[in-house]
């Protein structure tokens, strides 16, 4: 049987980093099989938390990351509809819930659910609800339903025995049935809970491998009791450890932690983000950190997913993003950063040459505009910037270098970078100075900046002869005063 995995997000806002990693791992598991299928399913049964436009964000995120799904609401497939609310309208979940009641795996409950929820909230994880309605016969319960009494359908848990399952990450897990809570399967509004709908949909969609967060480990025994009651095959489980904000707190979009969209706004590349989150909890067999999606498909092995949460490190992501930017050929890099260069530089300069000087230096796209302001306007600066112990310069040394540099450049007609390099690299020798004693003051004199992308020669070539000489003359006059 071909592997079939699913990514089943709820459209409740931006794409959380942990959710995106789940999508990536599910995608990789499917793609390891040449005939594998990756499915997108929208789980919108929690109607109160839905956010308008969130489904489009899910589509856009998967597309920008290259995680193309084979089946889903927007592409169709043989197992639709792929939106749970649409499946509710077909009466799908209620039908299976009533069948589960007849099989002894669920029952009608006529208790005050709001009161139960309050008790659960107060008690926390220690809360275990035992439903008195289990004493009703099916005939009595159905009569009360027919009389219009408000009800939910709740899972029936055996009071004795154990339930076990195998997980690819955490191994064999066994729990006492007496510790399991009898959860709601169908709410009073007719919508299924996540716990029920995902089991029904996973079975009907032929899901063979379930990839999800380890927070669902405690619920998995209850899922398996539903599978067993129906006599269905149980999928392979791959529970992933959480992505952590720090040692004690998980990343959470509810707490305002960075979403995928936030990272895009901050100038990160989708490819780099995907590469980075793949490494949060998974260790490749070979000693490397840079992977394309196709390379991840080849390298990924669920046996190398760890059991402990991994801390999201913005500095490591920034470094990796810089590696991705620097690994691009110049044409690809220019197309990637052109919008940011245009944002910062309005003058008629060779933008591709500007891209070439920032490529070794920018780690994110947002780093780019602040680097380039000196092209359009020559900023005022203080002569103290010429003091540099490493370059062995000061205002006096700078003036000794800039005057002959101006004379040389004013007579120079070939303004290509190669020709400028040849001419200016001879000047220190002629003056009896170190290269830095000439080129550092020259760069400062034509940019007004102590730190710039690119050196004096590269920047002079981009500024052009007229603008370079104009700025150089202004700086010489400033030093002479």
What are the catalytic residues?
Answer: 253
Peptide bond into 81 cis (omega under 30): yes
Burial 395-416 (b: 16+ CB within 10 A, else e): bebbbbbbeebbeebeebeeee
User: What residues contact 100, with CB distance under 8 A and at least 6 apart?
Assistant: 106, 153, 185, 226, 229, 230
Bridging pattern class, strands 4-7 and 37-40: parallel
Beta strand spans in 20-77 (E)? 37-40
Degrees (nearest 5) of the Cα angle 182, 187, 192? 90
Degrees (nearest 5) of the Cα angle 174, 176, 179? 125
Report DSSP letters for 239-283, one per residue.
Answer: EEPPEESSSS-B--GGGT--BHHHHHHTT--HHHHHHHHHTSSB-
* H helical segments located in 345-434: 351-358, 368-371, 373-376, 395-410, 417-431
- Evaluated on CA atoms 292, 298, 299, 302, the torsion sign reads positive
User: By CB neighbour count within 10 A (0-12 exposed, 13-18 middle, 19+ buried), where does 477 fall?
Assistant: exposed
Q: Decide if 389 contacts 434 (C-beta within 8 A).
A: no
Q: Which of 185, 187, 181 is nearest to 129 (CA)?
A: 181
Phi and psi at residue 478, to the nearest 5°? -65, -40
Residue 128 CA, distance from chain mean position: 36
Structure tokens at 311: 């801390």
- Measuring CA to CA, how many Å separate 297 from each of 36, 160, 174, 292, 457? 12, 43, 32, 9, 44
DSSP designation for 302: G
């Amino acid at each position: 049987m071909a592997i079939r995995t699913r990514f089943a997000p709820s459209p409740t806002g931006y794409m959380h980093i942990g959710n995106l990693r789940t999508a990536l791992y599910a995608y990789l598991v499917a793609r390891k099989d040449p005939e594998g299928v990756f499915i997108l399913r929208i789980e919108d049964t929690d109607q109160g938390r839905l956010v308008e436009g969130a489904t489009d964000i899910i589509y856009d995120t998967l597309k920008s990351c290259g995680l193309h799904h084979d089946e889903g609401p927007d592409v169709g497939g043989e197992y639709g509809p792929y939106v749970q609310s649409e499946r509710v309208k077909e009466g799908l979940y209620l039908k299976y819930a009533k069948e589960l009641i007849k099989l002894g795996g669920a029952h009608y409950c006529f208790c005050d659910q709001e009161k139960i929820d309050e008790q659960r909230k107060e008690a926390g994880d220690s809360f275990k609800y035992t439903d008195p309605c289990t004493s009703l016969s099916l005939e009595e319960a159905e009569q009360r339903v027919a009389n219009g009494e408000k009800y939910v359908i709740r899972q029936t848990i055996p009071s004795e025995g154990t339930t076990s399952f195998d997980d690819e990450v955490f191994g064999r897990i066994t729990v006492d049935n007496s510790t399991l809570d009898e959860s709601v399967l169908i709410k009073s509004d007719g919508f299924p809970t996540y716990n029920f709908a995902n089991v029904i949909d996973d079975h009907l969609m032929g899901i063979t491998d379930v990839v999800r967060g380890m927070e669902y480990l405690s619920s998995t025994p209850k899922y398996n009791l539903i599978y067993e009651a129906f006599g269905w095959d149980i999928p392979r489980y791959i529970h992933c450890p959480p992505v952590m904000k720090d040692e004690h707190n998980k990343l959470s979009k509810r707490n305002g932690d960075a979403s995928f969209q936030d990272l895009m706004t901050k100038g990160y590349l989708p490819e780099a983000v995907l590469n980075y989150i793949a490494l949060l909890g998974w260790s490749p067999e070979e000693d490397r950190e840079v992977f394309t999606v196709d390379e991840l498909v080849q390298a990924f092995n669920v046996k190398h997913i760890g059991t402990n949460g991994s801390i999201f490190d913005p500095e490591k992501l920034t470094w990796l993003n810089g590696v991705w930017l620097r690994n691009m050929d110049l044409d690809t890099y220019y197309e990637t950063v052109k919008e940011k260069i245009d944002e910062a530089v309005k003058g008629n300069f060779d933008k591709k040459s500007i891209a070439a000087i920032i490529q070794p230096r920018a780690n994110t796209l947002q780093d780019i505009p602040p680097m380039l302001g000196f092209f359009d306007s020559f900023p005022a600066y203080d002569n103290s910037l010429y003091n540099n112990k490493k370059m062995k310069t000061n205002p006096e040394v700078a003036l000794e270098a800039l005057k002959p540099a101006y004379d040389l450049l004013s007579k120079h007609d070939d303004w290509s970078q190669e020709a400028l390099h040849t001419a200016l690299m001879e000047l220190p020798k002629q003056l009896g100075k170190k290269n830095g004693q000439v080129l550092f003051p020259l760069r400062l004199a034509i940019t007004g900046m102590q730190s710039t992308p690119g050196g004096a020669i590269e920047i002079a070539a981009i500024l052009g002869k007229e603008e370079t000489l104009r700025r150089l003359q202004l700086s010489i006059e400033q030093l002479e005063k």
